[in-house]
Every structure is written in structure tokens, then in C-alpha cells.
Amino acid sequence: MPSNSPTQAGHSDLAIAPDTVEAINGVFLLLSTNYGNQFNAAFPNTDRSNIAKRLWAKHLNKYPKAVLMAVADEIVGKETFLPSLAKFKEYCDHAYSLFGLPDVHSAYVEACRATAPKKNYNWSHLAVYYAGLATDWFFLSSAVESAVLPVFKRNYEMICDRVIKGEELDTPIHKALPAEVSVPLDKKANLAELKKLRQSMDL
């Protein structure tokens, strides 16, 4: 494994995802390019840089590669000073907005307040609709937040991860009304139809 990898020999116990390794290397390259002297002061040699990469990889391993790269790009456009790991993680925790996704609690409130039919509601993002669908609309509307939110959060984050990785969510299909609507026959008409059926079958 390359010497600049966050998971070089002796640190395999961290179970760092390959995408995270690649992302952390990309993040450090972007930070070194944009923060020059600050970066070199913080990480004056390869050993220091590798130690930092392993630490960052350990604490950022749960975030998809797309989030890490998007956050790095946002930070270099906003922050004057080289961000600490804590600062970078803080950005990651609020990265949904970079992909047009509301934060978890806002999504939960939206799902709870959405009017029926849910498919026709003007969702801020389809991920909210699918998270509500996976959680169960009745459960959302009838149970207390402390019981529902953890379930909704898990479903929403799973769907958001798919969106962040580039998956497009299908727009719910609205069922069309039938071309003809049948009207139930009254008792007299039913008897007449039954008589015709018996006659056709020679009963």
C-alpha cells in the first residue's frame, strides 16, 4: 500500500473503507494546495501527514466519499484557515444541504406534516417521501417523536447515502383513474342478469 495511505501497515484494525482512503488522500491534496504554508506548518513531513491521515480516516470513515470531497471543496471556498478535524467533521454533519437534502429533523417534520395523498405532496426532496414511506405513514402520524424519529433517521440516512452516491430516486407514479367507472346494479337488475345467465347455461 502506498506510504501516503491512511491505512498503511500496522493500522488495518481501523477497518477503513477503500473509498475513505482515496477520499482522505484527495482531501489532504486539496487542503495542501489551498492552504500552502499553513498546511506545511501543520504537517511538516510525510510521517506527520500520514499520522494525521490515519486519524482523519478513523473519525470520518462513516461519511461517503462524495460527502468528504464536497465538504473539502466547500471549506476551501469559505474558510481562511486550515480546518481542524473537528471543524471538518462539523461540516460533514451538515453536508446534506450540499446535495439539496434537508437535515434529518427538518425532513422528519416535513414527513409528519405532509398532507395526503403523499405522492402528490410537494416534497423538498424525494428522499423525504421515501423515508416516510419506509417508516410507515401511520406510525409517523400516531406515535411520539421519541419513538418515531430514530426509525425515520435510520431510513432517511440510508436513502440520503444513496442520493449522495449518485442514485436518482424515481418519482412516485400516480395511478390514473379508469376510463369507465362501473356502477353496482340494484337488486332487480341483478336478478335479471342472473336469469339471463341461467338461460344461457340451460340451467
What phi, psi does 6 have (nearest 5°)? -65, -15
Say which residue the cell 466519499 belongs to. 65
CA atoms within 13 A on the CB side of 182: 3
Task: Dump pLDDT digits (tens) for 168-187.
Answer: 998 886 655 455 545 555 66
Task: Give the chain's end-to-end CA distance (angstroms, integer).
Answer: 85
Whether 60 contacts 68, CB under 8 Å: yes
Comparing CA positions, the residue from 89, 26, 30, 98 lying closest to residue 56 is: 89
d(CA 80, CA 62): 26
The 8-class DSSP code of residue 102 comes to P
What are 185-194's pLDDT values in tens digits? Answer: 566 666 676 6
Burial 17-30 (b: 16+ CB within 10 A, else e): beebbebbbebbeb
Burial 40-78 (b: 16+ CB within 10 A, else e): eeebeeeeebbebbbebbbebbebbbbbbbbbbeebbee
Q: Is the distance from CB of 4 to CB of 50 less than 8 angstroms?
A: yes
pLDDT for res 176: 52
Give me the pLDDT at residue 202, please: 58
Q: pLDDT 10s digit of each residue in the chain, 203 long?
A: 344 555 443 344 457 888 899 999 999 999 999 999 999 999 999 999 999 999 999 999 988 888 999 999 999 999 999 999 999 999 998 888 889 999 999 999 999 999 999 999 999 999 999 999 999 999 999 999 999 999 999 999 899 988 887 889 988 866 554 555 455 556 666 667 666 666 655 55
pTM of this structure = 0.61
CA atoms within 13 A on the CB side of 104: 16
